[in-house]
Homo-oligomer: A and B are copies of this chain.
């Protein structure tokens, strides 16, 4: 059975051209890039070439790019590194309620270490309010970290405007751009950000390699101490093959950004229209316009997300409910709760994220089948419009918040 993969926000297949770039670095150019000898020196050059490719993709200086082992590590480093280094100035951090767990749980951990964190709310489309941000800034605020684009509902935050507000106050600004790269333009100069996290496996590169942009001069502690790699900022023998792969993937993503985005947007709109026109009692989550080109996120009333996923999987379609790294968890998505959905509704979410190889045929197949799946599951459900059971229960989501 042909499979239709619609979970590109979770991860993407590595592009064959990227695999090819990477391969020689396992067996032939395997030398330690920190070494004096020939094997090491050549590899060092390849790493620097990749650094340049990444830098170009986000309009940074290559000396501002530091490779990490994942997007999560980049987020952890940015937040903990800034917090630890600048705590003498203050211990207050501002973030939002819809951040990725790599940001949220890091902030929660810092709260345990005596930092104070303000979690800005979002509106029903998932946007933070600039006024809320202005009001939240205090004398002891040392860091603002707001994601560029949300991984679940696809909403794109006003990073440039946030950057302007924050810069004026002299506060350090980090953005998690893991979902933005390859989907919308990312330009650190234009955006006024001081730190920016990215990850290769979201842009047809391998898993296990990310990067943190650190603007020159921003004072930050290391997260991983040890050897002198990454200009003494991130220890560990360089993951050469994956670094080179990330460079190639970033280059390809930048080169084809407009074309890929247009393609995804067309199919996303086809998908949204197909679902909204043909399935009753459905809600599109996330901002209608300010959203990632490949993201569609729905809530279907009266049914639960995993049963939709399983039903799709059986007929060859891969989608997701909530974020990939929390599936297996029983809590409904913190993002859907943050945009104001009752927990009961949040449980019925389906995220379909389109990639560069998705076709209109795929989308039509998905829509046709989704109509039937939703109908079948709703027939099985004890709740419906006439019998919403206990609205009180429906709203009793309080104990799921945190």
Contacts and interface: CB of A to CB of B under 8 A. Distances in A.
A229 interface: yes
A242 B36 contact: no
A326 B321 CA distance: 46
B224 A36 contact: no
Contacts of A22: 26
Nearest to A238: B207
B69 A68 contact: yes
Interface in A27-74: 27-28, 30-32, 34-40, 68-73
B7 A30 contact: no
A235 interface: yes
Contacts of A317: 37
Interface stretch (A8-16, A127-135, A332-340): A8-16
Contacts of A328: 34, 228
A346 interface: no
A376 to B, nearest CB: 18
A295 to B, nearest CB: 16
Contacts of A238: 207-208
A240 interface: yes
B102 A235 contact: yes
Contact of A37 (B7, B109, B209): B7
A237 interface: yes
Given A36-B306, A109-B225, A30 B12 contact: yes
A369 interface: no
Contact of A318 (B16, B19, B38, B106): B38
A273 interface: no
Interface in A216-242: 221-229, 235-242
A227 B101 contact: yes
A105 interface: yes
A359 interface: no
Contacts of A329: 228
A61 B71 CA distance: 29
A226 B310 CA distance: 25
A281 to B, nearest CB: 23
Nearest to A22: B26
Interface residues of A, number: 85
A25 B28 CA distance: 20
A64 to B, nearest CB: 20
A312 interface: yes
A126 interface: no
Contact of A226 (B35, B36, B105, B225): B105
A323 interface: yes
Given A72-B227, A105-B225, A324 B236 contact: no
Contacts of A324: 32, 34-35, 40, 227, 237
A155 interface: no
A28 B5 CA distance: 12
Contacts of A76: 223-226, 235
A372 interface: no
Interface string A109-138: 100010000000000000000000000000
A279 interface: no
A95 to B, nearest CB: 13
Interface of A: 3, 5, 7, 10-14, 16, 18-19, 22-23, 26-28, 30-32, 34-40, 68-73, 75-76, 84, 100-103, 105-106, 108-109, 113, 199, 201, 206-210, 221-229, 235-242, 306, 309-310, 312-313, 317-321, 323-329
Given A7-B39, A76-B223, 15 more contacts: A3-B39, A10-B35, A11-B32, A38-B313, A69-B70, A69-B239, A72-B224, A73-B73, A76-B226, A101-B228, A102-B236, A105-B226, A206-B241, A207-B237, A237-B325
